[in-house]
Structure formats: structure tokens, C-alpha cells
Amino acid sequence: MSVLGAKDHYRGNPGLLYGEKFAGKKVRDYLDGKFEMIPKTKEHIFVDADKCIGDACAICYTLCPGGAYEMIDGKAVWAFGMTNCMECGICQYVCTVGAIDWSYPEAGTGVVLKWS
Ligand code: SF4
Ligand code: SF4
């Protein structure tokens, strides 16, 4: 199973964890086939653009292992989250200004691990 596919969206400097040479690629390879993504019914992570300091930070974009974020008009947007978010929680902890409103997707949707 191809876990995540949006590899064309990042800027010239790929997200640190999302880039092919870094941990995100390894995480995705490791998880390949070990989880299923049940289609989500509604967005569950939101960025408050008024709080987001955008390109001066871009930490969520840089560290998200799923490549769920894009920087648009100088602000972070959870643009690929509905398909790419792995529900790891990193983004909410690294945002120093509290701009990310984080929650799990609706019950029965999103990541389902298959470790057996
Ligand atoms: S970590 Fe927070 S402040 Fe930084 S770009 Fe992301 S949402 Fe904006
Ligand atoms: S929880 Fe945040 S950091 Fe983790 S995959 Fe989802 S959007 Fe990316």
C-alpha cells in the first residue's frame, strides 16, 4: 500500500521529516501495509491563521512526517491532512504559539493500525 502520495507539494527545501532522506520516509516505509486509512468525514486539525507566524516558523510543515502541511501565502495550512495525517500529534506540540487546534478524526475513521 502506498501510504502517502503528495510528494510534489513541498517547497524547494523539503520538510525535514517528510523528505526522502529523513525520518518521515523511513516512518512511511516502516508503516507501509501496517495501517489502513479509513476515509475521514471531516477535518480534525485546524490552523488559526491569526496566531500562526507562518514562514518565520514553518515547524509544523517541516516536522510533519506525513507531509500534511503546506505553506500557503506565508501561513501553515493543513492542506493534505485528510489523506496524509498519521495522527502522530507532533504538530500540536511543536507549535509554540498555540495556533493548531488538534483532535482525532471521528470515531471509526482515520488511521487503523494492523500490527498482526
Ligand atoms: S508551528 Fe504553528 S506557528 Fe509555526 S507554522 Fe505551524 S501553525 Fe504556524
Ligand atoms: S498529527 Fe500533525 S504532525 Fe502528525 S501527521 Fe498529522 S498533521 Fe502531521
Spatial distance between the Cα atoms of 49 and 19, rounded to a whole number of angstroms: 25
Of all protein residues, whose CA lies closest to atom 1 belonging to ligand 1? 95
CATH 3.90.1150.10 is held by the domain 43-109 = no
For 85-116, the pLDDT digits (tens) are 989 999 999 999 999 999 999 999 999 888 66
Task: Please give the Cα distance from 103 to 82 (Å, whole number).
Answer: 13
pLDDT at 27: 72
Note the pTM of the prediction, 2 decimals.
0.81
Pocket flag, ligand 2, residue 94 (CB < 6 Å): no
The number of angstroms, rounded, from the C-alpha of 95 to the middle of its chain's C-alpha atoms is 13
Strands 70-72 and 75-77: antiparallel
Q: Which residues line ligand 1 (CB under 6 A)?
A: 47, 52-54, 57-60, 76, 94-95, 97, 99-100
Phi, psi at 83, each rounded to 5°: -110, -30
Residue 69 in grid coordinates = 502541511
Q: What's the CA-to-centroid distance between 88 and ligand 2, angstroms?
A: 5
> What pLDDT score was predicted for residue 97?
97
Which atom in ligand 1 lies closest to the alpha carbon of residue 91? 1
Task: For residue 66, give the DSSP letter.
Answer: T
Nearest ligand by distance to the CA of 60: 1
Q: What pLDDT score does 93 carry?
A: 94
Q: Report which of 82, 55, 49, 46 is spatially closest to residue 66, judged by C-alpha positions.
A: 82
